[in-house]
Amino acid sequence: MHTEYLNVVDVEATCWRGPNPPGQPMEIIEIGLCVLDTRTRERVAEHSILVRPERSTVSKFCTELTTLTPEMVATGITFAQACELLRTDFHADSRPWASWGAYDRRQFERQCAATEVPYPFGSKHTNAKLAFSASRGTEHRFGMAGALKAAELPLEGTHHRGGDDAWNIAALIIEMMRRDSWPE
C-alpha cells in the first residue's frame, strides 16, 4: 500500500551543557513537522509547534543551540495539547513518520510515559539517519548537516530549530526517493 503523505518530525528539547539539573528531565520545547507528499516528492507543509515545558527550564546553553528562549517557549502549548494537535491536524496516529535517528521517537515515548499523555504516533516509523547510511552503502552515521553536505543539498533555515530541521530532513528523504533507496 502506498501512503500519500509522510510526516517528517524533528524535536528540540530542554538541554544543558552538562548533566540535567536535579529534578529537570529533558522536555520537548519544539516539534518541527514537514509534511512530505510521497507521490510528487514535494514538501507541502512546514510547521513549528512551540511546547511549554512543565518540569524543566530552557538553559542559556539550550538557547545558544536552538535560538529558543524561555520567553518564546512560555507562549507554547502544553505537551498534551501538542500530542493531540499531531493526531487531529496531522493524522500522526495513522500516517507514517520519519525522524533523523531514534532520539525523537524515544523522547516522545519517554515524555508520554512520564506524563501519561497518549503517544501520538502510529507504529510506522523510519529512522532516516539509518536509511541514509544504508542508501550510501556505509556504516557511517551522518549528522543531518553532514548528510546534507554529502548529498550536495543546502542547509535551509536555522540548524537545531525543529521546523527547519524537519524541512531539511524531508529534502534528504526526497533525495533518497529519487535514488530509489528510501525504504517503503
> pLDDT tens for residues 82-109?
999 999 999 999 999 999 999 999 999 9
Q: Which residue has 499531531 as its cell numbers?
A: 86
- Residue 183 inside a domain? The answer is no
Question: pLDDT tens-digit profile of 127-170?
Answer: 999 999 999 999 999 999 999 999 999 999 999 999 999 999 99
pTM of the entire predicted model: 0.96
How confident is the model at residue 3, as a pLDDT? 66
The confidence score (pLDDT) of residue 184 equals 75
Residue 73, pLDDT > 60, answer yes
Query: Please, what is the average pLDDT of the chain?
Result: 96
Residue 94 lies in a domain: yes
Instruction: Flag whether 36 is in a domain.
Output: yes
Instruction: Reply yes or no on whether the pLDDT at 1 is more than 60.
Output: no
Computed on alpha carbons and rounded to an integer, the radius of gyration of the chain in Å comes to: 16
Is residue 169 in a domain?
Answer: yes
> Strand order in 42-50's β-sheet?
42-50, 28-37, 5-13, 97-99, 125-127
CATH of residue 97's domain is 3.30.420.10
- Name the domain count of the chain: 1
Query: Rounded to an integer, what distance in angstroms lies between the CA atom of residue 100 and that of residue 142?
Result: 10
Domain that includes residue 122, residue range: 5-178
Q: Which residues pair with 8 in a beta bridge?
A: 34, 98
Domain-embedded: residue 126: yes
Q: Give the model confidence (pLDDT) of 52-62 as tens digits.
A: 999 999 999 99
